[in-house]
Amino acid sequence: MSRIPELRLRALVALFLAIFAFSVFADDADDDERFEQKYGKDFTFRGGRVTIDHGFGTLNVRTHAGSTVEVRATIRSSNDDIGKQVRIIAGEGPGGITIETRVPDIHNWRGHLSYSIDMNVVIPTNAPLTAKNRFGNIDARGLQTASILENRMGSISLQDARGTQSVSNSFGSIETVDIRGDLTIANNNGSVTVRKVEGALTVSNRFGSIDIADVKRAATITNSNGSISVVDVSGALKATNAFGSVKASTIGGAADITNSNARVDISNVSGPATVRNTFGTVVATTIGGNFTAESQNAKVEAEGIDGNAKIDTSFGGISLKNVSGTAHLTSTNGNIKATDIQGSLTAETRFGSIRAERVRGAADVESSNGSITLDDIGSSVKARSSFGSVFVKGVGGAVDVANANGAISVAELRGNSCHPVTLRTTFSSIKVALPENIGYSVNARTSFGRINSEIPITTTGISDETLVGTIGKGGCKLDLVNSNGSITIERD
């Protein structure tokens, strides 16, 4: 309920700041700037930090092998009196070297006014840096020790840095390239782009996209109202988002992703993966460990799981392929499809169908108000349904099907050993095809229907609605129970 007012407030604040910044220091092609002044000063760095507090202009920071801090700046203004009031205060102290830009307070100014201070600072490679700017960009390159960059109403670019780096911004983009240490980024209302980080990476953002590639250790990403794209992380990935998509690929460790109201795509994850999403599709491909997904009001598609798969969704279907372990699938109001499962399968849904093919282990499935189709199951089958048909074919173990208001069909029971068969339904038919050379003990019962068998049965009890006897030498259980429907026994 509070989201719309918050967005409006932030938009109004951003608009006001942008208009103010433009009116004060934006370049104007038609403006005849009448005042320009150069500033230059050098200091000897004896330890501590280099601290820069700048505003209303660009700030460029570079490094050199020397021991001096070199400050160069150009002050421009459309008004001489205002330009002369701009000050750059720089000096040495116990904590290091400080550089500060001071601008005049302007009240009741009439007409057009612009001013800017563009600053270039060169610092020693061993000097830690804290740099702040307001209404202007920061461009820092070659920093060789721990540094802090902060900005408002302007972009930040950081390249070729060593040591721990901290970068924060609001109302502007952040771009970093080639950071040989840990990197922490916090932003609001601007995009974040990261390329090549040799340490751990932590990024948070709001109202802007996050684009990351080539991280040598773990990455922790938090965003809202903007997309997340992550490629090539050697360590683990943890990503949290809302109202923006998440796309992650080539992750060397585990992946843990939480999202809402947008799609999640993950691929080529070397470790296990966990995805939680609401109102957004989940797509997972090539996971090197166990895969766990929880989704509400959206579907889940997964393929190539080198481990176990556990998927739980509501108001969305499940599609699962190529799992080396077991699969446990639960859906509400969605269809379930599972293919090429090397372990056992457990699947449950309501108001949706279940279809499974090439399951090497056992299959235990249940559907309400939907059909069940099982094909090529390596071990036993247990199926429960209502208001939907059940089709079972190619089973390597026992078959137990309980249905209501739906047909049952069983065929291609594999192997030369006994496969007990128990089938129960109401208000529909039962059809079972039996293999040659297997003896069955038959117990078939129905009401308001007929029992037919094309295989000879030695009967011990028979009527229009009951058939008890043996096929061959008997021994393997065949229990068929129906109400208001026929029963048919065929040769396979």
| Three-class HEC string of 102-114 | ECCCCCCCCCCCC
Place of tokens 């094309």: 454
Largest Cα–Cα distance in the chain? 117
85 with 64, same domain: the answer is yes
Over residues 250-269, the pLDDT tens digits come to 999 999 999 999 999 999 99
Structural domain contains residue 369: no
Return the closest-CA partner of residue 71 out of 90, 55, 85, 96: 90
Percent of all residues in the chain with a pLDDT value above 70, rounded to a whole number: 92
- Can you tell me the distance from the alpha carbon of 76 to that of 357, in angstroms, rounded to the nearest whole number? 74
Final residue belonging to a domain, choices 296, 328, 361: 361
166 with 233, same domain: the answer is no
- Which residue range(s) make up the domain with 13? 1-217
Structural domain contains residue 368: no
64 with 101, same domain: the answer is yes
pLDDT at 111: 61
Q: Which residue has the higher pLDDT, 283 or 23?
A: 283
Structural domain contains residue 402: yes
Over residues 455-483, the pLDDT tens digits come to 999 988 777 789 999 999 889 999 999 99
Determine how many CB atoms are found less than 10 A away from the CB of residue 391. Answer: 18
Over residues 114-129, the pLDDT tens digits come to 789 999 999 999 999 9
Length of the chain: 492
pLDDT at 11: 43
- Can you tell me the distance from the alpha carbon of 14 to that of 8, in angstroms, rounded to the nearest whole number? 10
pLDDT at 104: 83
Q: How confident is the model at residue 110 (pLDDT cuts 50, 70, 90)?
A: low
Final residue belonging to a domain, choices 193, 217, 241: 217
Q: Which helix (H) or strand (E) holds 185?
A: strand 183-188
pLDDT at 84: 87
* Strand boundaries in 199-281, DSSP class E: 201-204, 210-215, 219-222, 228-233, 237-240, 246-251, 255-260, 264-269, 273-278
Q: Which residue has the higher pLDDT, 332 or 112?
A: 332
Residue 31 clears pLDDT 70, i.e. is over it: no
C-alpha 199: how far from its chain's center?
22
What's the average model confidence in pLDDT over 215-242?
98
Final residue belonging to a domain, choices 361, 393, 422: 361
242 with 209, same domain: the answer is no
- Can you tell me the distance from the alpha carbon of 43 to that of 37, in angstroms, rounded to the nearest whole number? 20
DSSP 3-state percent helix, strand, coil across the chain (nearest 5): 5, 60, 35
Residue 440 clears pLDDT 60, i.e. is over it: yes
Over residues 136-186, the pLDDT tens digits come to 999 999 999 999 999 999 999 999 999 999 999 999 999 999 999 999 999
Residue 3 clears pLDDT 50, i.e. is over it: no
Over residues 33-92, the pLDDT tens digits come to 578 999 999 999 999 999 999 999 999 999 999 999 999 999 998 888 888 889 999 999
Q: How many helices (H) and strands (E) does the chain have?
A: 2, 47
pLDDT at 26: 42
- 143 contact partners, CB below 8 Å, separation of at least 6: 61, 63, 129, 158, 160, 161, 162, 163, 165
Structural domain contains residue 128: yes
Q: Which residue has the higher pLDDT, 294 or 108?
A: 294
153 with 238, same domain: the answer is no
233 with 201, same domain: the answer is no
